[in-house]
A and B are shown apart, each in its own frame.
Chain A
Protein backbone atom coordinates (compact mmCIF):
# COMPACT_ATOMS: atom_id res chain seq x y z
CA UNK A 1 0.00 0.00 0.00
CA UNK A 2 2.86 2.38 0.87
CA UNK A 3 4.48 1.64 -2.48
CA UNK A 4 1.30 2.37 -4.40
CA UNK A 5 1.10 5.66 -2.54
CA UNK A 6 4.67 6.57 -3.45
CA UNK A 7 3.86 5.87 -7.09
CA UNK A 8 0.88 8.23 -6.86
CA UNK A 9 3.10 10.99 -5.50
CA UNK A 10 5.65 10.53 -8.27
CA UNK A 11 2.99 10.67 -10.99
CA UNK A 12 1.60 13.81 -9.37
CA UNK A 13 5.02 15.46 -9.25
CA UNK A 14 5.60 14.75 -12.92
CA UNK A 15 2.22 16.22 -13.93
CA UNK A 16 2.87 19.30 -11.78
CA UNK A 17 6.27 19.79 -13.41
CA UNK A 18 4.73 19.57 -16.89
CA UNK A 19 2.08 22.08 -15.81
CA UNK A 20 4.72 24.57 -14.63
CA UNK A 21 6.63 24.27 -17.90
CA UNK A 22 3.47 24.79 -19.94
CA UNK A 23 2.54 27.88 -17.85
CA UNK A 24 5.96 29.42 -18.36
CA UNK A 25 6.08 28.80 -22.11
CA UNK A 26 3.94 31.69 -23.39
CA UNK A 27 4.93 30.94 -26.99
CA UNK A 28 3.23 27.53 -26.84
CA UNK A 29 -0.02 29.15 -25.73
CA UNK A 30 0.24 31.71 -28.53
CA UNK A 31 0.70 29.00 -31.19
CA UNK A 32 -2.23 26.93 -29.98
CA UNK A 33 -4.59 29.87 -29.38
CA UNK A 34 -3.77 31.39 -32.79
CA UNK A 35 -4.76 28.11 -34.41
CA UNK A 36 -8.02 28.06 -32.44
CA UNK A 37 -8.96 31.69 -32.91
CA UNK A 38 -7.41 32.90 -36.21
CA UNK A 39 -9.68 36.00 -36.30
CA UNK A 40 -8.50 37.46 -32.97
CA UNK A 41 -5.74 40.13 -33.05
CA UNK A 42 -4.72 39.60 -29.39
CA UNK A 43 -4.71 35.99 -28.18
CA UNK A 44 -2.39 36.44 -25.18
CA UNK A 45 -3.57 38.59 -22.27
CA UNK A 46 -1.12 41.49 -22.36
CA UNK A 47 -1.04 43.07 -18.87
CA UNK A 48 0.36 40.12 -16.84
CA UNK A 49 2.16 36.96 -17.86
CA UNK A 50 0.32 33.71 -17.23
CA UNK A 51 2.94 32.67 -14.63
CA UNK A 52 2.36 35.91 -12.69
CA UNK A 53 -1.38 35.36 -12.63
CA UNK A 54 -1.01 31.74 -11.53
CA UNK A 55 1.23 32.86 -8.66
CA UNK A 56 -1.26 35.58 -7.65
CA UNK A 57 -4.03 33.02 -7.74
CA UNK A 58 -2.09 30.48 -5.67
CA UNK A 59 -1.26 33.22 -3.16
CA UNK A 60 -4.96 34.00 -2.72
CA UNK A 61 -5.82 30.33 -2.32
CA UNK A 62 -2.94 29.46 0.00
CA UNK A 63 -3.51 32.38 2.37
CA UNK A 64 -7.28 32.05 2.56
CA UNK A 65 -7.27 28.23 2.78
CA UNK A 66 -4.49 28.39 5.32
CA UNK A 67 -6.56 30.65 7.55
CA UNK A 68 -9.62 28.45 6.95
CA UNK A 69 -7.74 25.34 8.09
CA UNK A 70 -6.03 27.01 11.05
CA UNK A 71 -9.34 28.40 12.25
CA UNK A 72 -11.73 25.72 11.02
CA UNK A 73 -10.20 22.51 12.35
CA UNK A 74 -9.75 23.75 15.94
CA UNK A 75 -13.21 25.33 15.80
CA UNK A 76 -14.70 22.02 14.70
CA UNK A 77 -12.84 20.13 17.44
CA UNK A 78 -13.85 22.71 20.03
CA UNK A 79 -17.50 22.31 19.07
CA UNK A 80 -17.34 18.55 19.63
CA UNK A 81 -16.11 18.88 23.24
CA UNK A 82 -18.67 17.71 25.75
CA UNK A 83 -18.90 21.20 27.28
CA UNK A 84 -20.10 22.54 23.91
CA UNK A 85 -22.74 19.87 23.37
CA UNK A 86 -25.59 22.37 23.70
CA UNK A 87 -24.11 24.76 21.14
CA UNK A 88 -23.18 22.20 18.54
CA UNK A 89 -26.29 22.34 16.39
CA UNK A 90 -26.58 26.12 16.72
CA UNK A 91 -23.02 26.73 15.56
CA UNK A 92 -23.38 24.14 12.83
CA UNK A 93 -26.36 26.10 11.54
CA UNK A 94 -24.51 29.42 11.72
CA UNK A 95 -21.66 28.03 9.65
CA UNK A 96 -24.12 26.58 7.14
CA UNK A 97 -25.71 29.99 6.78
CA UNK A 98 -22.20 31.38 6.07
CA UNK A 99 -22.05 29.01 3.12
CA UNK A 100 -25.33 30.28 1.65
CA UNK A 101 -24.10 33.88 1.41
CA UNK A 102 -22.44 34.24 -1.99
CA UNK A 103 -18.81 35.38 -1.83
CA UNK A 104 -19.64 38.37 -4.02
CA UNK A 105 -21.98 39.57 -1.29
CA UNK A 106 -19.22 39.15 1.27
CA UNK A 107 -16.97 41.17 -1.03
CA UNK A 108 -19.54 43.92 -1.21
CA UNK A 109 -19.61 44.04 2.57
CA UNK A 110 -15.86 43.71 3.04
CA UNK A 111 -14.70 46.31 0.55
CA UNK A 112 -16.06 49.34 2.49
CA UNK A 113 -14.24 48.11 5.61
CA UNK A 114 -10.99 46.67 4.25
CA UNK A 115 -10.82 48.41 0.90
CA UNK A 116 -10.05 46.96 -2.50
CA UNK A 117 -7.50 44.20 -2.94
CA UNK A 118 -6.13 41.21 -1.14
CA UNK A 119 -7.59 41.54 2.38
CA UNK A 120 -11.23 41.75 1.33
CA UNK A 121 -10.85 38.85 -1.11
CA UNK A 122 -9.18 36.67 1.49
CA UNK A 123 -11.91 37.40 4.05
CA UNK A 124 -14.59 36.44 1.54
CA UNK A 125 -12.75 33.25 0.58
CA UNK A 126 -12.07 32.36 4.20
CA UNK A 127 -15.72 32.64 5.24
CA UNK A 128 -16.91 30.76 2.19
CA UNK A 129 -14.47 27.89 2.68
CA UNK A 130 -15.07 27.49 6.40
CA UNK A 131 -18.15 25.25 6.27
CA UNK A 132 -16.70 22.08 4.72
CA UNK A 133 -13.72 22.17 7.06
CA UNK A 134 -15.72 22.71 10.25
CA UNK A 135 -18.54 20.35 9.39
CA UNK A 136 -16.19 17.57 8.30
CA UNK A 137 -14.12 18.00 11.44
CA UNK A 138 -17.28 17.68 13.53
CA UNK A 139 -18.51 14.70 11.52
CA UNK A 140 -15.12 12.96 11.68
CA UNK A 141 -14.73 13.35 15.42
CA UNK A 142 -18.28 12.35 16.13
CA UNK A 143 -17.83 9.23 14.00
CA UNK A 144 -15.20 7.88 16.41
CA UNK A 145 -17.07 4.92 17.93
CA UNK A 146 -18.10 5.38 21.55
CA UNK A 147 -16.67 2.05 22.64
CA UNK A 148 -13.25 3.13 21.39
CA UNK A 149 -13.43 6.29 23.48
CA UNK A 150 -14.74 4.23 26.37
CA UNK A 151 -11.70 1.97 26.08
CA UNK A 152 -9.28 4.89 25.94
CA UNK A 153 -10.77 6.67 28.95
CA UNK A 154 -11.10 3.35 30.77
CA UNK A 155 -7.39 2.73 30.37
CA UNK A 156 -6.62 6.06 31.96
CA UNK A 157 -6.12 8.44 29.04
CA UNK A 158 -6.89 12.06 29.82
CA UNK A 159 -9.40 13.83 27.58
CA UNK A 160 -6.59 15.76 25.89
CA UNK A 161 -4.49 12.69 25.26
CA UNK A 162 -7.47 10.77 23.88
CA UNK A 163 -8.17 13.74 21.58
CA UNK A 164 -4.68 13.78 20.12
CA UNK A 165 -3.93 10.05 20.21
CA UNK A 166 -7.34 8.67 19.27
CA UNK A 167 -9.95 11.13 18.08
CA UNK A 168 -7.88 13.28 15.71
CA UNK A 169 -5.90 10.42 14.09
CA UNK A 170 -9.07 8.39 13.65
CA UNK A 171 -10.97 11.27 12.05
CA UNK A 172 -8.00 12.60 10.05
CA UNK A 173 -9.20 11.23 6.71
CA UNK A 174 -12.63 12.85 7.09
CA UNK A 175 -11.08 16.15 8.22
CA UNK A 176 -8.69 16.14 5.25
CA UNK A 177 -11.60 15.37 2.92
CA UNK A 178 -13.26 18.54 4.25
CA UNK A 179 -10.09 20.54 3.66
CA UNK A 180 -9.92 19.15 0.13
CA UNK A 181 -13.47 20.26 -0.67
CA UNK A 182 -12.79 23.67 0.84
CA UNK A 183 -9.55 24.21 -1.12
CA UNK A 184 -11.12 23.16 -4.41
CA UNK A 185 -14.11 25.45 -3.91
CA UNK A 186 -11.59 28.11 -3.05
CA UNK A 187 -9.56 27.67 -6.25
CA UNK A 188 -12.72 28.35 -8.27
CA UNK A 189 -14.06 31.11 -6.05
CA UNK A 190 -10.74 32.97 -5.95
CA UNK A 191 -11.62 34.20 -9.48
CA UNK A 192 -13.70 36.93 -7.84
CA UNK A 193 -10.46 38.50 -6.61
CA UNK A 194 -10.08 40.00 -10.07
CA UNK A 195 -13.20 42.11 -9.53
CA UNK A 196 -11.65 44.09 -6.68
CA UNK A 197 -8.10 44.13 -7.95
CA UNK A 198 -6.57 41.23 -6.06
CA UNK A 199 -5.33 39.68 -9.29
CA UNK A 200 -5.32 35.99 -10.03
CA UNK A 201 -6.64 33.90 -12.87
CA UNK A 202 -9.93 35.79 -12.73
CA UNK A 203 -8.19 38.74 -14.41
CA UNK A 204 -8.01 37.34 -17.98
CA UNK A 205 -11.52 35.91 -17.58
CA UNK A 206 -13.00 39.31 -16.70
CA UNK A 207 -11.04 40.92 -19.53
CA UNK A 208 -12.12 38.22 -21.94
CA UNK A 209 -15.78 38.67 -20.98
CA UNK A 210 -15.57 42.45 -21.37
CA UNK A 211 -13.71 42.33 -24.67
CA UNK A 212 -15.56 39.25 -25.92
CA UNK A 213 -12.23 37.44 -26.27
CA UNK A 214 -12.55 33.69 -25.66
CA UNK A 215 -8.77 33.18 -25.91
CA UNK A 216 -8.34 35.34 -22.77
CA UNK A 217 -11.02 33.35 -20.92
CA UNK A 218 -9.27 30.09 -21.76
CA UNK A 219 -6.05 31.42 -20.23
CA UNK A 220 -7.89 31.88 -16.94
CA UNK A 221 -10.05 28.78 -16.96
CA UNK A 222 -7.60 26.08 -18.08
CA UNK A 223 -4.82 26.71 -15.53
CA UNK A 224 -7.38 27.08 -12.72
CA UNK A 225 -8.97 23.77 -13.68
CA UNK A 226 -5.60 22.03 -13.76
CA UNK A 227 -4.66 23.51 -10.37
CA UNK A 228 -7.96 22.29 -8.94
CA UNK A 229 -7.39 18.78 -10.29
CA UNK A 230 -3.84 18.69 -8.96
CA UNK A 231 -4.95 19.91 -5.53
CA UNK A 232 -7.67 17.27 -5.51
CA UNK A 233 -5.08 14.55 -6.13
CA UNK A 234 -2.68 15.92 -3.51
CA UNK A 235 -5.34 15.78 -0.81
CA UNK A 236 -6.52 12.44 -2.07
CA UNK A 237 -3.06 11.05 -1.49
CA UNK A 238 -2.81 12.60 1.96
CA UNK A 239 -6.23 11.22 2.86
CA UNK A 240 -5.15 7.71 1.96
CA UNK A 241 -2.40 7.78 4.57
CA UNK A 242 -5.07 8.06 7.25
CA UNK A 243 -7.57 5.49 6.06
CA UNK A 244 -7.89 2.65 8.56
CA UNK A 245 -10.41 -0.06 8.13
CA UNK A 246 -12.13 -0.48 11.43
CA UNK A 247 -12.37 -4.07 12.49
CA UNK A 248 -15.80 -5.44 13.19
CA UNK A 249 -15.04 -5.01 16.89
Chain B
Protein backbone atom coordinates (compact mmCIF):
# COMPACT_ATOMS: atom_id res chain seq x y z
CA UNK B 1 0.00 0.00 0.00
CA UNK B 2 1.26 3.43 -0.94
CA UNK B 3 0.09 6.51 0.92
CA UNK B 4 0.92 10.09 0.00
CA UNK B 5 0.05 12.58 2.72
CA UNK B 6 -0.27 16.28 1.88
CA UNK B 7 2.68 16.29 -0.50
CA UNK B 8 3.88 19.67 -1.71
CA UNK B 9 6.80 20.32 -4.01
CA UNK B 10 8.15 23.79 -4.64
CA UNK B 11 10.81 24.44 -7.30
CA UNK B 12 12.30 27.93 -7.33
CA UNK B 13 9.29 29.41 -5.55
CA UNK B 14 6.95 27.73 -8.02
CA UNK B 15 4.56 25.20 -6.56
CA UNK B 16 4.58 22.17 -8.82
CA UNK B 17 2.60 19.83 -6.59
CA UNK B 18 0.24 21.24 -3.97
CA UNK B 19 -1.12 19.39 -0.94
CA UNK B 20 -1.47 16.13 -2.80
CA UNK B 21 -2.84 13.10 -0.97
CA UNK B 22 -3.41 9.68 -2.47
CA UNK B 23 -3.82 6.13 -1.27
CA UNK B 24 -3.12 3.18 -3.53
CA UNK B 25 -4.09 -0.24 -2.26
CA UNK B 26 -2.07 -3.41 -2.67
CA UNK B 27 -2.44 -4.87 -6.18
CA UNK B 28 -4.18 -1.83 -7.62
CA UNK B 29 -3.29 0.00 -10.80
CA UNK B 30 -3.54 3.71 -10.11
CA UNK B 31 -3.19 5.93 -13.16
CA UNK B 32 -2.32 9.57 -12.64
CA UNK B 33 -3.53 11.51 -15.63
CA UNK B 34 -3.54 15.18 -16.50
CA UNK B 35 -2.35 17.73 -19.04
CA UNK B 36 1.40 18.14 -19.45
CA UNK B 37 3.02 20.21 -16.73
CA UNK B 38 0.38 19.30 -14.14
CA UNK B 39 2.99 17.77 -11.82
CA UNK B 40 2.16 14.11 -12.40
CA UNK B 41 5.70 13.01 -13.19
CA UNK B 42 7.09 14.98 -10.24
CA UNK B 43 4.57 13.23 -8.00
CA UNK B 44 5.62 9.83 -9.33
CA UNK B 45 9.31 10.59 -8.86
CA UNK B 46 8.77 11.53 -5.23
CA UNK B 47 7.68 7.97 -4.51
CA UNK B 48 11.15 6.56 -5.27
CA UNK B 49 12.90 9.65 -3.95
CA UNK B 50 14.19 10.76 -7.33
CA UNK B 51 12.61 14.04 -6.19
CA UNK B 52 12.29 14.99 -2.53
CA UNK B 53 9.00 16.61 -1.49
CA UNK B 54 9.18 20.07 0.06
CA UNK B 55 6.67 18.96 2.66
CA UNK B 56 4.43 16.01 3.39
CA UNK B 57 5.08 12.32 3.93
CA UNK B 58 5.02 9.21 1.78
CA UNK B 59 4.51 5.78 3.26
CA UNK B 60 5.02 2.42 1.59
CA UNK B 61 3.47 -0.37 3.63
CA UNK B 62 3.40 1.99 6.58
CA UNK B 63 7.12 2.73 6.37
CA UNK B 64 8.13 6.34 5.96
CA UNK B 65 10.28 6.36 2.82
CA UNK B 66 12.38 9.22 4.20
CA UNK B 67 13.83 6.64 6.58
CA UNK B 68 14.90 4.30 3.77
CA UNK B 69 18.19 4.92 1.97
CA UNK B 70 17.31 6.12 -1.58
CA UNK B 71 19.36 3.52 -3.50
CA UNK B 72 17.93 0.73 -1.39
CA UNK B 73 14.41 2.06 -1.77
CA UNK B 74 14.78 2.27 -5.55
CA UNK B 75 16.05 -1.28 -5.84
CA UNK B 76 12.80 -2.43 -4.26
CA UNK B 77 10.62 -0.44 -6.67
CA UNK B 78 10.32 -1.16 -10.38
CA UNK B 79 10.83 1.93 -12.52
CA UNK B 80 9.91 2.22 -16.20
CA UNK B 81 10.08 5.47 -18.14
CA UNK B 82 8.80 6.66 -21.49
CA UNK B 83 12.26 6.86 -23.03
CA UNK B 84 12.83 3.32 -21.70
CA UNK B 85 16.44 4.21 -20.97
CA UNK B 86 17.90 0.86 -21.94
CA UNK B 87 21.67 1.02 -21.64
CA UNK B 88 22.92 1.07 -25.25
CA UNK B 89 26.29 -0.50 -24.41
CA UNK B 90 24.76 -3.53 -22.70
CA UNK B 91 22.88 -6.38 -24.30
CA UNK B 92 19.34 -7.32 -23.36
CA UNK B 93 20.50 -9.82 -20.75
CA UNK B 94 22.70 -7.33 -18.89
CA UNK B 95 20.04 -4.66 -19.11
CA UNK B 96 17.44 -6.87 -17.46
CA UNK B 97 19.99 -8.17 -14.96
CA UNK B 98 20.82 -4.66 -13.70
CA UNK B 99 18.86 -4.65 -10.44
CA UNK B 100 19.43 -8.33 -9.57
CA UNK B 101 23.16 -7.62 -9.96
CA UNK B 102 22.88 -4.58 -7.70
CA UNK B 103 21.20 -6.83 -5.16
CA UNK B 104 24.03 -9.33 -5.48
CA UNK B 105 22.05 -12.30 -6.75
CA UNK B 106 23.88 -15.47 -7.74
CA UNK B 107 24.59 -15.98 -11.45
CA UNK B 108 22.23 -18.95 -11.99
CA UNK B 109 19.41 -17.14 -10.23
CA UNK B 110 19.88 -14.09 -12.47
CA UNK B 111 19.95 -16.24 -15.58
CA UNK B 112 16.79 -18.07 -14.63
CA UNK B 113 15.07 -14.81 -13.77
CA UNK B 114 16.00 -13.10 -17.06
CA UNK B 115 14.72 -16.07 -18.99
CA UNK B 116 11.47 -16.05 -17.03
CA UNK B 117 10.99 -12.34 -17.63
CA UNK B 118 11.63 -12.51 -21.36
CA UNK B 119 9.02 -15.25 -21.62
CA UNK B 120 6.66 -13.16 -19.51
CA UNK B 121 6.84 -10.23 -21.91
CA UNK B 122 6.50 -12.59 -24.85
CA UNK B 123 10.02 -12.58 -26.27
CA UNK B 124 12.09 -15.68 -27.03
CA UNK B 125 15.02 -15.71 -24.57
CA UNK B 126 17.63 -17.33 -26.86
CA UNK B 127 16.78 -14.86 -29.59
CA UNK B 128 16.99 -11.74 -27.45
CA UNK B 129 19.69 -12.36 -24.79
CA UNK B 130 22.56 -11.12 -26.90
CA UNK B 131 20.80 -8.34 -28.79
CA UNK B 132 21.73 -4.73 -28.20
CA UNK B 133 19.09 -2.02 -27.71
CA UNK B 134 19.73 -0.53 -31.15
CA UNK B 135 18.72 -3.85 -32.69
CA UNK B 136 15.28 -3.73 -31.08
CA UNK B 137 12.08 -2.22 -32.41
CA UNK B 138 10.31 0.38 -30.29
CA UNK B 139 7.79 -2.14 -29.01
CA UNK B 140 10.48 -4.68 -28.14
CA UNK B 141 12.55 -2.06 -26.34
CA UNK B 142 9.49 -1.05 -24.37
CA UNK B 143 8.84 -4.65 -23.34
CA UNK B 144 12.46 -5.16 -22.31
CA UNK B 145 12.11 -1.96 -20.28
CA UNK B 146 9.14 -3.46 -18.45
CA UNK B 147 11.01 -6.74 -17.96
CA UNK B 148 13.93 -4.79 -16.50
CA UNK B 149 11.61 -2.94 -14.13
CA UNK B 150 10.16 -6.26 -12.96
CA UNK B 151 13.56 -7.95 -12.66
CA UNK B 152 13.90 -8.14 -8.89
CA UNK B 153 10.19 -8.89 -8.50
CA UNK B 154 9.36 -5.59 -6.79
CA UNK B 155 5.94 -5.29 -5.16
CA UNK B 156 5.59 -1.77 -6.53
CA UNK B 157 6.00 -0.52 -10.05
CA UNK B 158 6.28 3.13 -11.06
CA UNK B 159 5.70 3.80 -14.74
CA UNK B 160 6.06 7.16 -16.44
CA UNK B 161 4.29 7.15 -19.81
CA UNK B 162 5.54 3.61 -20.42
CA UNK B 163 3.73 3.29 -23.74
CA UNK B 164 4.13 6.90 -24.83
CA UNK B 165 6.80 6.40 -27.46
CA UNK B 166 5.16 3.54 -29.35
CA UNK B 167 2.88 3.74 -32.37
CA UNK B 168 -0.88 3.46 -31.67
CA UNK B 169 -1.22 -0.11 -32.89
CA UNK B 170 1.66 -1.38 -30.78
CA UNK B 171 0.48 0.72 -27.85
CA UNK B 172 -2.82 -1.17 -27.70
CA UNK B 173 -0.97 -4.45 -27.99
CA UNK B 174 1.39 -3.50 -25.16
CA UNK B 175 -1.51 -2.29 -23.01
CA UNK B 176 -3.31 -5.60 -23.48
CA UNK B 177 -0.15 -7.45 -22.57
CA UNK B 178 0.33 -5.18 -19.58
CA UNK B 179 -3.17 -6.04 -18.35
CA UNK B 180 -2.55 -9.76 -18.81
CA UNK B 181 0.75 -9.59 -16.94
CA UNK B 182 -0.81 -7.53 -14.18
CA UNK B 183 -3.63 -10.05 -13.84
CA UNK B 184 -0.99 -12.70 -13.12
CA UNK B 185 1.39 -10.68 -10.97
CA UNK B 186 -0.94 -8.36 -9.05
CA UNK B 187 1.65 -5.61 -8.51
CA UNK B 188 0.84 -2.28 -6.98
CA UNK B 189 1.32 0.07 -9.90
CA UNK B 190 1.33 3.82 -10.22
CA UNK B 191 1.35 4.84 -13.86
CA UNK B 192 1.52 8.34 -15.26
CA UNK B 193 0.05 9.26 -18.62
CA UNK B 194 -1.52 12.19 -20.44
CA UNK B 195 -3.67 9.81 -22.48
CA UNK B 196 -7.10 9.45 -20.89
CA UNK B 197 -8.03 6.46 -23.08
CA UNK B 198 -4.96 4.66 -21.81
CA UNK B 199 -5.91 5.54 -18.24
CA UNK B 200 -9.43 4.22 -18.72
CA UNK B 201 -8.12 1.02 -20.26
CA UNK B 202 -5.56 0.24 -17.60
CA UNK B 203 -6.68 1.78 -14.34
CA UNK B 204 -8.42 0.40 -11.30
CA UNK B 205 -8.36 3.97 -10.01
CA UNK B 206 -7.75 7.19 -11.88
CA UNK B 207 -6.29 10.31 -10.29
CA UNK B 208 -6.86 13.43 -12.36
CA UNK B 209 -4.37 16.22 -11.73
CA UNK B 210 -4.48 19.85 -12.70
CA UNK B 211 -1.89 22.52 -11.84
CA UNK B 212 -0.31 20.32 -9.20
CA UNK B 213 -3.53 19.46 -7.45
CA UNK B 214 -5.61 16.32 -7.30
CA UNK B 215 -8.97 17.08 -8.89
CA UNK B 216 -10.68 13.72 -8.71
CA UNK B 217 -9.72 10.24 -7.56
CA UNK B 218 -12.15 7.51 -8.49
CA UNK B 219 -12.54 4.32 -10.42
CA UNK B 220 -12.94 4.88 -14.17
CA UNK B 221 -16.67 4.10 -14.28
CA UNK B 222 -17.46 6.61 -11.55
CA UNK B 223 -15.17 9.19 -13.04
CA UNK B 224 -16.86 8.97 -16.43
CA UNK B 225 -20.35 8.86 -15.00
CA UNK B 226 -19.86 11.63 -12.43
CA UNK B 227 -17.12 14.10 -13.29
CA UNK B 228 -16.36 16.14 -10.16
CA UNK B 229 -16.19 19.51 -11.89
CA UNK B 230 -16.03 21.34 -15.19
CA UNK B 231 -12.34 20.56 -15.67
CA UNK B 232 -12.82 16.81 -15.35
CA UNK B 233 -15.97 17.04 -17.46
CA UNK B 234 -14.06 18.76 -20.26
CA UNK B 235 -11.04 16.53 -19.80
CA UNK B 236 -12.98 13.29 -20.20
CA UNK B 237 -14.60 14.84 -23.26
CA UNK B 238 -18.00 14.70 -24.86
CA UNK B 239 -17.51 11.05 -25.81
CA UNK B 240 -17.48 9.85 -22.23
CA UNK B 241 -20.40 7.52 -22.98
CA UNK B 242 -18.19 5.76 -25.52
CA UNK B 243 -15.31 5.69 -23.05
CA UNK B 244 -17.58 4.07 -20.51
CA UNK B 245 -18.51 1.44 -23.05
CA UNK B 246 -14.83 0.68 -23.46
CA UNK B 247 -14.71 -0.26 -19.77
CA UNK B 248 -17.61 -2.73 -20.05
CA UNK B 249 -16.68 -6.24 -21.07
CA UNK B 250 -19.03 -7.95 -23.47
CA UNK B 251 -18.87 -11.27 -21.64
CA UNK B 252 -21.81 -10.60 -19.29
CA UNK B 253 -24.07 -9.33 -22.05
CA UNK B 254 -23.93 -12.17 -24.54
CA UNK B 255 -27.30 -13.71 -25.21
CA UNK B 256 -27.84 -17.06 -26.91
CA UNK B 257 -28.15 -16.84 -30.66
CA UNK B 258 -30.19 -19.17 -32.87
CA UNK B 259 -28.07 -20.86 -35.51
CA UNK B 260 -28.22 -23.60 -38.10
CA UNK B 261 -25.59 -25.91 -39.52
CA UNK B 262 -24.33 -25.48 -43.07
CA UNK B 263 -25.69 -28.93 -43.91
CA UNK B 264 -29.22 -28.17 -42.66
CA UNK B 265 -32.20 -28.39 -44.96
CA UNK B 266 -34.13 -25.32 -46.06
CA UNK B 267 -37.15 -26.44 -44.08
CA UNK B 268 -35.08 -26.74 -40.89
CA UNK B 269 -33.75 -23.24 -41.46
CA UNK B 270 -37.22 -21.80 -41.83
CA UNK B 271 -38.35 -23.64 -38.71
CA UNK B 272 -35.37 -22.47 -36.59
CA UNK B 273 -35.75 -18.92 -37.71
CA UNK B 274 -39.42 -18.65 -36.93
CA UNK B 275 -40.61 -15.10 -37.30
CA UNK B 276 -37.17 -13.56 -37.71
CA UNK B 277 -35.67 -12.43 -41.01
CA UNK B 278 -32.24 -14.03 -40.75
CA UNK B 279 -30.19 -16.57 -38.78
CA UNK B 280 -26.48 -17.35 -38.06
CA UNK B 281 -24.89 -20.25 -39.89
CA UNK B 282 -22.17 -22.46 -38.36
CA UNK B 283 -20.32 -25.49 -39.65
CA UNK B 284 -20.37 -28.92 -38.03
CA UNK B 285 -17.85 -27.78 -35.41
CA UNK B 286 -20.00 -24.82 -34.41
CA UNK B 287 -17.60 -22.46 -36.17
CA UNK B 288 -19.25 -19.27 -37.47
CA UNK B 289 -19.63 -19.19 -41.25
CA UNK B 290 -21.96 -16.22 -41.76
CA UNK B 291 -25.69 -15.66 -41.80
CA UNK B 292 -28.57 -16.22 -44.15
CA UNK B 293 -31.42 -13.94 -45.05
CA UNK B 294 -34.73 -15.81 -45.08
CA UNK B 295 -35.85 -13.98 -48.24
CA UNK B 296 -32.70 -15.05 -50.05
CA UNK B 297 -33.07 -18.57 -48.69
CA UNK B 298 -36.49 -18.89 -50.31
CA UNK B 299 -34.89 -18.16 -53.64
CA UNK B 300 -31.86 -20.52 -53.25
CA UNK B 301 -31.60 -24.25 -53.69
CA UNK B 302 -29.61 -25.12 -50.52
CA UNK B 303 -28.70 -23.39 -47.27
CA UNK B 304 -25.04 -23.14 -48.37
CA UNK B 305 -26.00 -21.05 -51.42
CA UNK B 306 -27.81 -18.52 -49.30
CA UNK B 307 -24.97 -17.87 -46.81
CA UNK B 308 -23.76 -14.33 -47.23
CA UNK B 309 -20.21 -14.26 -48.47
CA UNK B 310 -18.83 -11.90 -45.85
CA UNK B 311 -15.77 -12.85 -43.78
CA UNK B 312 -17.15 -13.80 -40.33
CA UNK B 313 -14.23 -12.16 -38.50
CA UNK B 314 -15.24 -8.77 -39.89
CA UNK B 315 -18.70 -8.84 -38.39
CA UNK B 316 -17.99 -10.57 -35.09
CA UNK B 317 -16.32 -9.72 -31.79
CA UNK B 318 -14.54 -12.02 -29.34
CA UNK B 319 -15.63 -12.48 -25.76
CA UNK B 320 -12.67 -10.37 -24.51
CA UNK B 321 -13.94 -7.34 -26.39
CA UNK B 322 -15.56 -4.30 -24.86
CA UNK B 323 -19.03 -3.05 -25.74
CA UNK B 324 -17.33 -0.12 -27.45
CA UNK B 325 -15.66 -2.44 -29.92
CA UNK B 326 -18.98 -4.21 -30.51
CA UNK B 327 -20.73 -0.90 -31.14
CA UNK B 328 -17.97 0.20 -33.46
CA UNK B 329 -18.36 -2.93 -35.60
CA UNK B 330 -22.14 -2.54 -35.65
CA UNK B 331 -21.86 1.03 -36.92
CA UNK B 332 -19.13 0.11 -39.36
CA UNK B 333 -20.97 -2.84 -40.87
CA UNK B 334 -24.47 -1.37 -40.57
CA UNK B 335 -25.69 -4.24 -38.40
CA UNK B 336 -28.08 -4.08 -35.44
CA UNK B 337 -26.93 -7.44 -34.09
CA UNK B 338 -23.48 -9.03 -34.20
CA UNK B 339 -22.23 -12.48 -33.21
CA UNK B 340 -19.74 -13.11 -30.40
CA UNK B 341 -17.16 -15.81 -31.03
CA UNK B 342 -14.38 -17.36 -28.97
CA UNK B 343 -10.72 -17.44 -29.94
CA UNK B 344 -11.29 -20.43 -32.25
CA UNK B 345 -14.13 -18.79 -34.14
CA UNK B 346 -16.89 -20.80 -32.42
CA UNK B 347 -20.21 -19.01 -32.07
CA UNK B 348 -20.99 -18.14 -28.44
CA UNK B 349 -24.03 -15.91 -28.89
CA UNK B 350 -24.85 -12.42 -29.98
CA UNK B 351 -25.29 -8.85 -28.77
CA UNK B 352 -27.50 -6.15 -30.18
CA UNK B 353 -27.90 -2.38 -29.96
CA UNK B 354 -30.58 -2.59 -27.27
CA UNK B 355 -28.26 -4.58 -25.00
CA UNK B 356 -25.58 -1.89 -25.34
CA UNK B 357 -28.06 0.88 -24.53
CA UNK B 358 -29.27 -0.99 -21.48
CA UNK B 359 -25.73 -1.65 -20.29
CA UNK B 360 -24.96 2.05 -20.46
CA UNK B 361 -28.00 3.17 -18.47
CA UNK B 362 -27.62 0.38 -15.94
CA UNK B 363 -23.96 1.29 -15.32
CA UNK B 364 -24.77 4.99 -15.47
CA UNK B 365 -26.41 6.42 -12.41
Contacts and interface: CB of A to CB of B under 8 A. Distances in A.
Contacts of B86: 151, 247, 249
Nearest to B133: A247
A242 B88 CA distance: 11
B132 A244 contact: yes
Contact of B138 (A153, A166, A169, A248): A248
A130 B33 CA distance: 50
B75 interface: yes
Contact of A246 (B71, B79, B88): B88
Contact of A154 (B48, B136, B138): B48
A73 interface: no
Interface string B159-191: 000000100000000000000000000000000
A101 interface: no
B285 to A, nearest CB: 45
A224 interface: no
B97 to A, nearest CB: 11
Contacts of A152: 85, 87, 98
Given A151-B79, A156-B72, A249 B138 contact: yes
A153 B70 CA distance: 9
Given A244-B134, A249-B138, A154 B79 contact: yes
A150 B87 CA distance: 11
B214 interface: no
Interface string B60-71: 000000000011
A158 interface: yes
Interface of B: 48, 50, 70-76, 79, 81, 83-89, 98-99, 102, 132-136, 138, 141-142, 148, 165
A237 B48 CA distance: 41
Given A154-B74, A249-B133, A148 B141 contact: no
Given A148-B85, A148-B87, A152-B87, A249 B165 contact: yes
A249 B87 CA distance: 10
Nearest to B148: A155
B141 A249 contact: yes
Given A244-B89, A249-B86, A155 B75 contact: yes
A158 B83 contact: no
Contacts of A245: 88, 132, 134
Given A155-B79, A244-B134, A247-B141, A170 B89 contact: yes
A92 B136 CA distance: 38
Interface in A156-175: 156-158, 161, 166, 169-170
Contacts of B76: 156
A150 B81 contact: yes
B71 A158 contact: yes
Contact of B88 (A153, A154, A244): A244
A248 B89 CA distance: 14
Nearest to A171: B89
Given A152-B87, A170-B89, 10 more contacts: A145-B83, A154-B48, A154-B85, A155-B148, A156-B70, A166-B87, A170-B88, A242-B89, A244-B88, A247-B136
